[in-house]
């Protein structure tokens, strides 16, 4: 029985590696975070500058922890509101590092969102130009066939221009957004020298389409709030959907559950501090991969550096010579 279970685990591991090692693949390249509502600007640059503070988010995901070369994703975003030319803007940066199979992906971008206020609501349109750098660790690949030309036997890297764009609408009680990642659908060229010749390898980065929404529902005469959220994603010939519901008590403790279609169920817990939030999430797989792993882990930390009132800032920045 143990041998059979070991064989199944080994087979699933090999299948997972084949899926991420194949060049010119049509796979999703954005990480599937269960805490999608915490780091909305990861998927949608239009969400930058929604909070009147320097808003910093650090997110991490360790997926399928029992499987070698399983995905690991880390990202950092920082954004803030800004007023320029009598217009409201959100400005920010995003940096991401990911290891999946024998690939290492690094993505860095700048975020800019134009904002228009409608009463208590805000409409935002944002863009995120940046770069996508990828490395394939061919030196770590199994070289059973030294003449195999399907993948390089040495480390190769490539960098291309990349861009995201989106729209975002927020209200004190709810928010919705739509975005496109990898708008230019770039192809990363990975070239390697072999026998005095240059062999080109390519990795196609396909667009991802994301639709997200959530709300905040206070329960009358109690200290409880319900915060439901949902995300639907499409990329190439695949799609994914996930939902989550958090219960917040006294604006201090968050507890919730989530579900990703045919993939995993999730449990969340988080603590709201004065200017920070610390959250943990656990995904239990419900697909065939559950035979090879016990689950995935996420840790998220957010921190806000409060900004002073714009009018106060304006007065403080005036030059005494023109007062």
| Structure confidence by residue, pLDDT tens digits, 129-169 | 999 999 988 777 655 555 555 566 678 889 999 999 999 99
Mean predicted confidence (pLDDT) in 213-240:
94
Q: Based on C-alpha coordinates, what's the Rg of the chain?
A: 22
Look at the chain and report how many structural domains it folds into: 1
* pLDDT confidence of residue 5: 42
Q: Is residue 89 part of a domain?
A: yes
Q: Which of 210, 116, 224 has its CA nearest to residue 170?
A: 116
Give percent of the chain above pLDDT 90. 66
- Residue 150 or 23, more confident: 150
Q: Is residue 122 part of a domain?
A: yes
Structure tokens that stand for 301 in this block: 């930390």
Give percent of the chain above pLDDT 70. 80
Q: Is residue 74 very low, low, confident or very high in pLDDT (cuts 50, 70, 90)?
A: very high
Q: Is residue 323 part of a domain?
A: no
Q: Looking at 138-273, which runs of residues are DSSP E strands?
A: 155-171, 174-181, 187-194, 197-204, 208-215, 217-218, 224-235, 238-249, 253-260, 264-272
- Res 317 pLDDT > 60: no
CA dihedral 177, 59, 306, 228 (to 10 degrees): 40
Neighbouring C-alpha atoms within 13 Å toward the C-beta of 54 = 6
Q: Is residue 102 part of a domain?
A: yes
Tokens 């700048």 belong to: 110
Task: Tell me the CATH number at 188.
Answer: 2.40.128
Residue 239, domain extent: 2-143+152-318
């Amino acid at each position: 029985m143990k041998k059979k279970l070991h064989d199944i685990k080994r087979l699933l591991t090999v299948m997972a590696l084949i899926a991420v090692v194949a060049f010119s693949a049509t796979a999703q390249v954005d990480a599937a975070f269960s805490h999608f509502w915490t780091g909305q600007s990861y998927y949608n640059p239009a969400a930058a500058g929604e909070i009147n503070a320097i808003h910093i988010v650090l997110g991490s995901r360790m997926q399928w922890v029992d499987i070698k070369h399983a995905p690991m994703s880390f990202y950092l975003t920082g954004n803030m509101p800004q007023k320029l030319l009598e217009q409201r803007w959100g400005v920010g940066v995003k940096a991401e590092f990911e290891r999946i199979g024998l690939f290492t992906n690094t993505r860095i971008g700048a975020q800019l969102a134009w904002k228009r206020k409608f009463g208590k609501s805000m409409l935002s349109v944002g863009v995120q130009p940046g770069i996508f750098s990828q490395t394939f660790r061919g030196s770590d690949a199994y070289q059973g066939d030294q003449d195999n030309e399907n993948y390089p036997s040495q480390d190769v890297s490539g960098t291309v221009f990349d861009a995201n764009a989106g729209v975002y609408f927020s209200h004190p009680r709810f928010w919705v957004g739509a975005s496109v990642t990898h708008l230019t659908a770039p192809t990363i060229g990975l070239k390697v020298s072999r026998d005095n010749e240059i062999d080109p390898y390519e990795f196609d980065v396909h667009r991802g389409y994301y639709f997200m929404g959530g709300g905040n529902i206070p329960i009358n005469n109690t200290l409880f709030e319900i915060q439901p959220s949902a995300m639907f994603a499409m990329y190439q010939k695949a799609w994914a959907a996930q939902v989550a519901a958090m219960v917040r008590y006294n604006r201090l403790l968050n507890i919730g559950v989530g579900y990703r279609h045919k993939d995993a169920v999730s449990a969340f817990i988080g603590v709201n501090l004065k200017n920070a939030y610390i959250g943990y999430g656990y995904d239990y797989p419900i697909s065939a991969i559950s035979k090879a792993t016990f689950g995935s882990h996420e840790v998220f930390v957010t921190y806000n550096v409060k900004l002073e009132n714009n009018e106060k800032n304006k007065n403080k920045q005036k030059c005494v010579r023109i007062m």
